[in-house]
Structure 1
Amino acid sequence: MESKKILLSEKDIPTAWYNVLAEMPVKPRPMLNPATHEPLTAEDLMPLFTEEASRQEFNTTDTWIEIPDEVRDMYRIWRPTPLVRARGLEKALDTKAHIYFKNESVSPVGSHKLNSAVPQAYYAKKQGVTNITTETGAGQWGAALSLAAKHFGLELAVYMVKISFNQKPYRRSIMQTYGAEVIASPSMSTKAGRKIITEHPNYQGSLGTAISEAVELAMSTPNCKYVLGSVLNHVALHQTVIGLEAEKQMEMAGEYPDIVIGCFGGGSNFSGISFPFMRHNFSGERSTRFVAAEPSSCPKLTRGVLQYDFGDEAGYTPLIPMYTLGHDFSPANIHAGGLRYHGAGAVVSQLRSDGMIDAVDIPQLETFAAATLFARAEGIIPAPESSHAIAAAIREAKRANEEGTAPVILFNLSGHGLIDMAAYDQYIAGDLANYEVTDEDVARTTDSLAKLI
């Protein structure tokens, strides 16, 4: 009988993260100080981020960065994660394509987000920090950081996007169970939040707004640092444990992916599954296609502009070179809350600009149809975010059927959807809708970006 799951032992947990910045052919443009327009240094970030995260953010020389023993020890709770041959999905699609998925949903919080939450909390503790703040969309990152913060004895405040705060009460409960304070964003607890509520009393929030509030609290609280769950280079670095394990597991399966797919919000899980395989494209050994699957309602990689922009709504962050819909963009209230972010990280944006990454935008109803098919074929109910990767994989398998080819497809199942069942209830009842972004919408929030530099 052929194996369904391809498993590694704890000794196979990577001992170092892969730093794509050291090997990518064209480095991204630097982040800029918004006041002076001068390139930032690691020291410029240290008042906000931990010292080690700041150094990792600007490390363009070390291909491999050692994972601390304390971090690897906590990784052992759930890592290595299984690589699974999706034979049930292949059968449902009647395809000759070989479809694999890396199952990151087996972590204690049900998603990949712990891969970066653990080292960032560890670096804070090691530095003597006592308090940390963050934002969260659907709550996956907030849940992960809540567990990591408690493990290392840190106090945590989480600004959760208001629409998700109300849509996903159990994620809020998970964070509170681990001991975090959870605030619906926008809130009245920060100047940024009060300004937004005053101007838009019924605004349901965005990741950009929640970032503004978390950054403001961090900067005004003694011995406190801000911790980020996506977008920046050091977060993508930590997530490469996903692809490094998958690389070993694909070798054990006797195959190599022709196509690697990840859902895309700010870039954390897509980078994690993609970058370790991408290094073989850099060297010319392979020609794998990499596909970022984003929502049609928040299509920064497919419809945005490559421009310097703020990472948050209030303009507290540095200027980041990114594919963006504009920091004032208000995404529709889709259930894939983790993908409702206006911009892409600088590294992914550069790789996209250089033609090394493809991107597709997928309507909400198609993602739930794909999620339902996957659940019935493979038994796992996926998170709405992960369902974008599943939908993209299904598109690729159907294209292969039409072309008479049999590619090896690998996607990242970044999280399960067992705390997202209200969304499935709405889909089954026919109460969900697609949301389209018009050219006018994009122009309205991007036309003024050139004035930022």
Structure 2
Amino acid sequence: MNGFLPGSWRSVLPHIDELPADRSPRVTSGQGVQANLPMELVRQSISRKEYWPIPDEVADAYRKFRPTPLWRATGFERAIGARVPVYVKYEGGNISGSHKLNTALAQAYYYSRAGVKELVTGTGAGQWGTALAAACALFGLRCTVFMVGSSLSRKPYRGVLMRMLGAEVHASPSGLTAVGRDHDGSRGNSLSLAIGEAVEYAKATDGAAFSIGSGETYSILHQSVIGQEAQVQLAELDADVDAVVGCVGAGSNFGGIALPFHAEAVATGTPAPLLVAAESSTTPKLSRGVYAYDQTDATGTGPLEAMYTIGSDYVIPDSHSAGLRFHAAAKVVSAMRHAGQVEAMGIGQVEALEAGRLLTVHETVLPAPESGHALAAAAKLATGTAEGMRAERGVLVCASGHGYLDLAAYQQFLDGELSDVAPLPEALSAAVSGLDRVGELSTAGRRP
């Protein structure tokens, strides 16, 4: 594939304030979550070095599907009545069907060089599990995936694809772990539980390590290829945007498309575009959550991280936006939200799937429901209907994956069978009542 491929990942850490330090877990039971983390990934998480050369083996794998396309979505613009241009960056054209492969390949490379023999993970909608299975196959590692059971039942072919790639796939909660056997439906959300099962299973398995695809600082770094490519592609089109949008589960897709724009703005002393995180209205951590220290999975053995969260014990309503159903946002994204450098917008699944339908009809690209949230947010910005936010020159939106394995969701949407359940204020208050807050939301640097 011809075109620009970045030679390095670009870190945003040199261009933001220091992140709050992690805290020890409330409960300790053996090793922490990151006991087997390769040192290079540790360095990528804490160093303020800006550019990290992409290893040749990873770059060779990237060239099979990168650079990914970017185009002006004129049909989508007409359908929504846009006032400004909308540009779509599409990450769905690889074996995983999503942006997740960008970090999966990097992680499999570093773990294999560190002597790890098996990677274990939890996945919601299945894109991350598929990406890690593909990366493990390429770098000669075993792979075990715990997938949210309700999602696996709706998308069985995700499991088939992972097994084709050599992975073992288990519906979560499973009977393989104590955290899974103890689950009674009353604690935590299902993605947190799947991750908790993966953490426990990896700790108990010789030669295995837990791998996570979204919230960690190093995984967001690996996604910076998206934004760097987009900057070059927009320049080639002589296009100017003042808003960048991505959907947020934990934050890797949003971080990948948006944070290179922030880094470039700070480095060049120019105004940063509006960076908008589109999240599920059922999981509104950035728009309705609190900035506090919380756990990242259901085992409680990992460090407490400073994140925008609705509480790891909050039971998130089921929806077709499985990849967004994580209770907290990545600490990098959270810190930038706290500093007023990131805005947030909650989107319901019905609105998201309608935006996805419009892209399908008018741009002949079928996006995943998660990406529909970003498209719906981009539509609000482009039409001037976003509350408190406005784009004057153009909007860039990342469609983070395809929706070919999500057609059941679109069928229910077309049949009028879907609705949205937003959290009640008292439920959110109760879920975060025991958390230590980092501080009140800063207004410094926020747009009026």
TM-score (normalizing by structure 2): 0.93
- 2:39 alignment partner in structure 1: 51
Indicate conservation of the 8 Å contact 1:95/1:401, yes or no. no
- 1:439 alignment partner in structure 2: 425
- 1:165 alignment partner in structure 2: 152
Indicate conservation of the 8 Å contact 1:162/1:204, yes or no. no
Given residue 276 of structure 2, which amino acid in structure 1 is its aligned partner? V
- Matched residues in 2 for 1:239 and 1:405: separation? 24
1:217 to 2:210 alignment: no
1:330 to 2:315 alignment: yes
**Residue-by-residue CA offset, 1:262-283 (whole Å, 9 max, x unaligned):** 0011000000001111113324
- 1:304 alignment partner in structure 2: 289
Moved more, 163-172 or 336-345: 163-172
Unaligned runs of 5+ in 2: 439-448
- 2:7 alignment partner in structure 1: 15
- 1:3 alignment partner in structure 2: none
- 1:79 alignment partner in structure 2: 66
- 1:275 alignment partner in structure 2: 259
Pair 89,253 (structure 1): closer, same or farther in 2 beyond 3 Å: same
- 2:93 alignment partner in structure 1: 106
Pair 392,404 (structure 1): closer, same or farther in 2 beyond 3 Å: closer
Moved more, 313-322 or 63-72: 313-322
* The structure with more helix, counted as a fraction of residues: 1
- Matched residues in 2 for 1:406 and 1:352: separation? 22
Between the two proteins, the alignment pairs up a number of residues equal to 434
- 1:32 alignment partner in structure 2: 23
Indicate conservation of the 8 Å contact 1:186/1:205, yes or no. no
Indicate conservation of the 8 Å contact 1:257/1:408, yes or no. yes
Indicate conservation of the 8 Å contact 2:381/2:390, yes or no. no
Q: How does 1:198-237 map to 2 (within 5 A)?
A: 199-200=184-185, 206-237=190-221
Q: How does 1:14-413 map to 2 (within 5 A)?
A: 14-24=6-16, 26-34=17-25, 47-59=35-47, 61-196=48-183, 199-200=184-185, 206-283=190-267, 284-399=269-384, 406-413=392-399
Q: Secondary structure at the match of 2:369?
A: coil
**Residue-by-residue CA offset, 1:13-68 (whole Å, 9 max, x unaligned):** 111101111221x121011222599xxxxx98752323322222222x21101110
- Matched residues in 1 for 2:301 and 2:173: separation? 15
Q: Secondary structure at the match of 1:100?
A: strand
Indicate conservation of the 8 Å contact 1:97/1:400, yes or no. no
Q: Secondary structure at the match of 1:143?
A: helix
Q: Identical aligned pairs, as a percentage?
A: 41
Unaligned runs of 5+ in 1: 1-7, 38-42
Pair 352,32 (structure 1): closer, same or farther in 2 beyond 3 Å: same
Given residue 365 of structure 2, which amino acid in structure 1 is its aligned partner? I
1:449 to 2:435 alignment: yes
- Matched residues in 2 for 1:301 and 1:404: separation? 19
- Matched residues in 2 for 1:173 and 1:36: separation? 36
Q: Secondary structure at the match of 1:385?
A: helix
- 1:4 alignment partner in structure 2: none
Indicate conservation of the 8 Å contact 1:243/1:277, yes or no. yes
Indicate conservation of the 8 Å contact 1:324/1:344, yes or no. yes
- Matched residues in 1 for 2:82 and 2:385: separation? 8
- Matched residues in 2 for 1:266 and 1:187: separation? 23
**Residue-by-residue CA offset, 1:236-267 (whole Å, 9 max, x unaligned):** 00000000000101111112320000001100
- Matched residues in 2 for 1:44 and 1:363: separation? 35
Q: Secondary structure at the match of 1:381?
A: coil
Indicate conservation of the 8 Å contact 1:50/1:225, yes or no. no
| CA-CA distance at 1:9 after TM superposition | 2.5
Indicate conservation of the 8 Å contact 1:113/1:140, yes or no. yes
- Matched residues in 1 for 2:214 and 2:386: separation? 35
CA-based RMSD of the aligned residues comes to 2.3
TM-score (normalizing by structure 1): 0.92
| CA-CA distance at 1:172 after TM superposition | 1.1
- 1:427 alignment partner in structure 2: 413
Moved more, 312-321 or 131-140: 312-321
Pair 405,240 (structure 1): closer, same or farther in 2 beyond 3 Å: closer
